[in-house]
Amino acid sequence: MVLRIVLVRLTSIPHGKPPHVAPACDAFPFPPSLSSPAYPRADEVIRPLLHCFQFLSTASPSSLIPTSQPPPSALDPLKLGLELGGKSDGVRASASSSAAAFDLSSLTSSKARAFSTLNTEEQKLQKHQKHFVLVHSACHGAWAWFKLKHRLESAGHRVTVLDLAASGTNPRPIHEVYTFKEYTQPLLDFLHAAVPPAETVVLVGHSFGGLSLALASDMFADKVSVAVFLSAFVPDTTHGPSYVLDRATKEMLDTQFRPYQNGEKRGTSIFFGPMFLSSKLYQLSPVEDLELGKILVRPGSLFMDDLSRQQKLSEEGYGSVTRVCIVCSEDEVIPKDFQRWMIQNSGIKYVFEIGGADHMAMFSKPQELCECLLGIANRYA
């Protein structure tokens, strides 16, 4: 099928006057009245377009959609009844008096087949489409996934990024959040209300977000097809959730810790300093992403006291979910040796490694991370 496009230029240049190009810094003057003799009337301006529409509505199909390659002469606009030049109002279009009415009925069956094909392809895409839910780390927010989100969406998948309590754009300050469940509540609310019972998600948790991932998997195991721990703390089902945090090496450099209290409720906030960000978290990430992190990080908390009092995660919930670990080879926050220990301790069987990635793989290796997640989703979800 050959699609022929007719282009019509509508003029607004005053009769008999060349166009005026205003200097780049000049403000355009208020135009004179449309009734001014210096400007053509509106009906004169749009008349070429009306003639063009009239021609298209009366021309025969053979003159518009040739069945074979036309000779060069057939491409002459005059052969289509278009007359170029003449008055200053640009292009005039006229229809041949012998042209038959344009009949669309011959295209009905082909259009139906085309729509049927499109619907079939859309159904196939929806069948293979995954829903990724990305959970950020402490002091960060949904903004941390901006390099990854569009990559997964471009591959045809749904992506949800969430701000946990007192994180990102969430309005609550950290001194109003005292329990780990309160902190994770936005994720729990999403899985409860926004994910239908018949659907599942690929849950991805980064760093401290691994504990939120574990709690959500324990409570909504039937809605999680696979839980992916990205350079994350991985709890087990034998000890309490604070067990892995207690054993982690803490070289926090200029990170600030401050207690906060409201009556019987107590907590400790954490705020990453610029030295910790640049030398431990973002040391291999682009400097623009490091500077973005310096601007957007907020005080958070590890909720150590609260987590130490929580019961261990269940085998029926968290333990029943397919779990995958992604190790970053140059991680300075959770070193590879400690990640291997957590993997062995938690009984995770599926492990992937991204070479040359620091703790913030979504910044240092976003494309490699995207490809890794797509492979995990296709294989395990």
| Distance in angstroms (rounded) separating the CA atoms of residues 162 and 194 | 12
| Distance in angstroms (rounded) separating the CA atoms of residues 64 and 3 | 8
| Distance in angstroms (rounded) separating the CA atoms of residues 199 and 191 | 10
Closest of 149, 171, 168, 151 to residue 159, by C-alpha: 149
Strand partners, 203: 133, 227
| Catalytic hit among 167, 207, 231, 346 | 207
Report the half-sphere exposure of 211 (CA within 13 A, side-chain side).
Answer: 27
| Catalytic hit among 236, 289, 306, 331 | 331
Strand partners, 204: 134, 228
| Distance in angstroms (rounded) separating the CA atoms of residues 207 and 360 | 9
Catalytic residue flag (residue 207):
yes
Whole-angstrom CA distances from 166 to 90, 141, 185, 270, 380 are 62, 9, 11, 12, 32
Q: In 10 A of CB 259, how many CB atoms?
A: 9
| Distance in angstroms (rounded) separating the CA atoms of residues 362 and 41 | 58
| Residues annotated catalytic, as ranges | 207, 331, 359
